[in-house]
Structure 1
Amino acid sequence: PFNVVESPEFRDFILFTGQGHLQDKDVPHRDKIVAVAEAMYYVEKNLIDSDMKAARGFISLTSDLWSDPILHAFMAVTAHYIDQNGLLKDHLIAFRKIDGVHSGANLADAMYKILRQSGIAYKVGYITLDNASNNNTMMRELAGSLKAHGLVFDADLNRLQCFPHILNLAVQAITSALSESAKRHRQKMREAGLYVSSAEERYLDALESDPLEAIRTSIHACRASGTRREDFSKMIEHGNNEGTFHLPDGTSIIIPNRQLLRDSPTRWGSTYIMSGRYIEVYPAIVELAYQCRKTAHIPFITHAQYETVQDLLTVLSIGYNAQELLSAEKTPTLSLVFPLFESIIQNWKQLADTIPELRHAISCGIKKIYDYMGRANKVPAHTIAMFLNPMFKMDWFYSKWEHEDAERAVSIIKTEVSLGH
């Protein structure tokens, strides 16, 4: 982007806008722009580094990896701390290109250099990461580097796991178990000597058919070209004006003029959003398939698949709404993580009773959350955050946890208080 200042056309344009008050020597060249930008960066970085060094207590970090369109990997590191005036601060302190293999050792080396360059290695508190296996290695390697310099840091106890990522893993566990859930429900019905009605059989067949993949295939066809997307939008507008769209009971409905969306395994909540949008505009998809029947094949889900997706959306909405609740907060929300997970689990258990065909799939999602909570309840930060929140204090531990776990929470709090943390 700095090279644009060397373009003769750009320089002529700047001189023209100067209306005779500028000469070519007044327009800086690339080297000057780069030098000034770098100087401004270091001025701001030094201010942030000084502010972090004066922080009241430890500095927590969040970090993640991204890839650009040509698959270059970048590590982002954000610092979170209370400054000397008692204000919560958040700063992106690094955005580094990661060369070579994205191994835990390489990531740890990059993280350690960032901490040393900012002069805050001795103040690191908790680091929030997703659950990728290379992050496990990174934390062990980083702990080794910090301990080698006499700093106290534990790869497990100083790590927090990303709440949306845990939910995303739970959702993936549910959606990947739909077919098995149908098979297990059939088996239980047979073992109990219960009759499976024809309607329920169609529902179970639809569940086994991978309705989410059917939605993805349908969306791909509907979005196959810019022309088809335009036709889809025009058709919705026309159908709304003419009253074309109806519910199964014959009630006329208005469909929002929106395009279909794809999901992504790494985008939290994207499967819920994709499926919800598809159901929302489903009558228009059927109409598009009919209008294009002579020129293109546009598949769409069956009525039975539609019913399974509606039930699945009810299940997924529990996790999605919890995620949105935390994301909307502008203050630290660690104290809400365990209560929200408990709420999700209880709601999912109720839905498993309401929709027995999905019982096994739901249980897979619940197991993922329990696996996380089993590791996370050993991390002092969760316990301390809840103890400091007036809504919870110690009551929540004794009412929700086993007595032994609650006593361990009390012990953690006493230890932290005695250390003056």
Structure 2
Amino acid sequence: MEFGRKTIRNTIDMMFIANSNHNLQILSAIKHLSFTVNAWTSPNMKAFMAITAHGITPEWKMLDVLIGMPAVEGQHSGVNFADLLVYTLDKLELSDKHISITADNASSNSSLAKHLEYRLGGIFKLTQLLGCMAHVINLSAHDWIRVFGTDTRVVNENEDEITLGKMDLANLVDQPDGQDINLHTVVSRIHGLATYVQGSPQSPNQDHSSGPRMLILDVRTRWNSTYDMLNCDLKLRKVCSTCCGSESRGEVARFSLLDEWDKVAQMVSFLEPLNNVTKILCCSKFSTLSMGLPIYISLITNIYDIQTKYNTFQLIPGRADD
């Protein structure tokens, strides 16, 4: 048999249809299903929403399968997401098996749940929307950093709709332009130093094989990136101090950390458990409540331990009178 482009295309189509019918047959035998939804934009600026179904088969085997990945057109609003989800579930005749949805904590997902409750007419309730635990932990880390007095960048937390233009990859990261950064804070100083170093012509030639030899720049949309940046900077403390203290590099003297290194160590010690549990959750194929509850308890215990180690003065933001 010749395998030309048409034959390969037809074979792939038939395999897809056969596999879809097989998955649908399995899902139809499951009484209750939960779903996860996640939207993103590809590098070629095509937006998609992945819909995954989760359940337990009559043979007591846990199952998770991708049931749809419709293209997202227009605004990335909760109403639009809900319509796509309802369309997919109705097409597969799975709407009546719905018990919960797991999504991240974007405000658009709250409106998704409200519109879904309206569209499904009693099958789904607003309380059946579950948040992503790893995302909650990441948001908690950002809130703690702000309370600690280190992150003063203004972020719009109340945006209801995200347009396709705003999903551009260039808008998903913090651009190192040096604007709106308060240099009187520890994180901002390290952020500024990392920006300066990464902009150096010599930076691409660095060898990372023997350990961290280049500062890491934090990205707000990347989980644990602030921890990675602080931890790397702490390991390169002597190099950073030498760089900022050199007379030939007076332009980076404003990023110098003197007494603030203890504060960096404090923040690293606090953020490290959050980093560890996030990796545990992301590596788990089937995250369950039996896993989540001990993680929450361990994090709360860690917070109380930190409170006993540092007094109030030690937890107040560092030098702000430069």
Query: Shorter-chain TM-score: which interval?
Result: 0.7 to 0.9
- State whether structure 2 residue 129 is matched by structure 1 residue 154: no
Which one is further off, 57-66 or 277-286?
277-286
Letter in 2 for 1:53: S
* Residue in 2 that maps onto 1:49: 24
Structure 2 CA distance for aligned equivalents of residues 293 and 229 of structure 1:
21
Structure 2 CA distance for aligned equivalents of residues 286 and 173 of structure 1:
28
* Residue in 2 that maps onto 1:337: 292
Structure 1 CA distance for aligned equivalents of residues 125 and 105 of structure 2:
17
For structure 2, list consecutive stretches of 5 or more residues without a partner in the other structure.
Answer: 152-181, 318-322
Displacement after TM superposition at 1:286 (Å): 4.4
* Residue in 2 that maps onto 1:39: 14
CA shift in 2, pair 1:227/1:89, >3 Å: same
Q: Deviations over 1:302-350 (max 9, x none)?
A: 1323221111111112322332333344444223334432332232133
Work out which of the residue numbers 113, 128, 142 in structure 2 matches 1:172. Answer: 142
* Residue in 1 that maps onto 2:34: 60
- State whether structure 2 residue 279 is matched by structure 1 residue 324: yes
- Quick check: 1:229–1:259 contact (8 Å CA) kept in 2? no
Structure 2 CA distance for aligned equivalents of residues 285 and 313 of structure 1:
17
Structure 2 CA distance for aligned equivalents of residues 215 and 323 of structure 1:
23
Letter in 2 for 1:268: W
Q: CA RMSD in A?
A: 3.2
The two structures have a TM-score, normalised by structure 2, of: 0.77
CA shift in 2, pair 1:108/1:292, >3 Å: farther
* Residue in 1 that maps onto 2:107: 133
- State whether structure 2 residue 86 is matched by structure 1 residue 115: no
Q: Rg bigger for which structure?
A: 1
Task: Please give the secondary structure, in 2, of the residue aligned with 1:179.
Answer: coil
Structure 2 CA distance for aligned equivalents of residues 226 and 60 of structure 1:
50
Structure 2 CA distance for aligned equivalents of residues 217 and 180 of structure 1:
13
- State whether structure 2 residue 225 is matched by structure 1 residue 270: yes
Displacement after TM superposition at 1:166 (Å): 0.9
* Residue in 2 that maps onto 1:221: 196
Structure 1 CA distance for aligned equivalents of residues 288 and 314 of structure 2:
31
Letter in 2 for 1:46: N
Q: Deviations over 1:375-399 (max 9, x none)?
A: xxxxxxxxxxxxxxxxxxxxxxxxx
Question: How many residue pairs end up in the alignment?
Answer: 286
CA shift in 2, pair 1:117/1:262, >3 Å: farther
Pairwise mapping of residues 16-415 of structure 1 onto structure 2 (< 5 A)? 26=2, 28-29=4-5, 31-55=6-30, 57-147=31-121, 152-156=123-127, 158-179=128-149, 209-224=184-199, 227-230=202-205, 232-233=206-207, 256-286=211-241, 293=248, 300-355=255-310, 356-357=312-313
Structure 1 CA distance for aligned equivalents of residues 247 and 66 of structure 2:
49
CA shift in 2, pair 1:132/1:283, >3 Å: same
Structure 2 CA distance for aligned equivalents of residues 209 and 269 of structure 1:
22
Letter in 2 for 1:93: I
Displacement after TM superposition at 1:134 (Å): 1.0
Structure 1 CA distance for aligned equivalents of residues 69 and 256 of structure 2:
43
Letter in 2 for 1:261: I
Letter in 1 for 2:295: L
Structure 2 CA distance for aligned equivalents of residues 152 and 349 of structure 1:
41
CA shift in 2, pair 1:28/1:296, >3 Å: farther
Identity %: 24
Which one is further off, 46-55 or 319-328?
319-328
Q: Deviations over 1:263-288 (max 9, x none)?
A: 22222222112211221223334456
Structure 1 CA distance for aligned equivalents of residues 239 and 221 of structure 2:
28
Structure 2 CA distance for aligned equivalents of residues 353 and 134 of structure 1:
39
Letter in 1 for 2:64: D
Structure 2 CA distance for aligned equivalents of residues 49 and 140 of structure 1:
27
CA shift in 2, pair 1:335/1:257, >3 Å: closer
Task: Please give the secondary structure, in 1, of the residue aligned with 2:259.
Answer: helix
Displacement after TM superposition at 1:300 (Å): 4.7
Q: Deviations over 1:25-59 (max 9, x none)?
A: x4523x5544433332222111111111112x311
For structure 1, list consecutive stretches of 5 or more residues without a partner in the other structure.
Answer: 1-21, 182-206, 238-254, 362-421
Displacement after TM superposition at 1:69 (Å): 3.0
Structure 1 CA distance for aligned equivalents of residues 102 and 294 of structure 2:
19
Letter in 1 for 2:102: T
Which one is further off, 209-218 or 278-287?
278-287
Task: Please give the secondary structure, in 2, of the residue aligned with 1:303.
Answer: coil
Task: Please give the secondary structure, in 1, of the residue aligned with 2:199.
Answer: coil
Which has more helix, going by share of residues?
1
Letter in 1 for 2:38: D
- Quick check: 1:75–1:95 contact (8 Å CA) kept in 2? yes
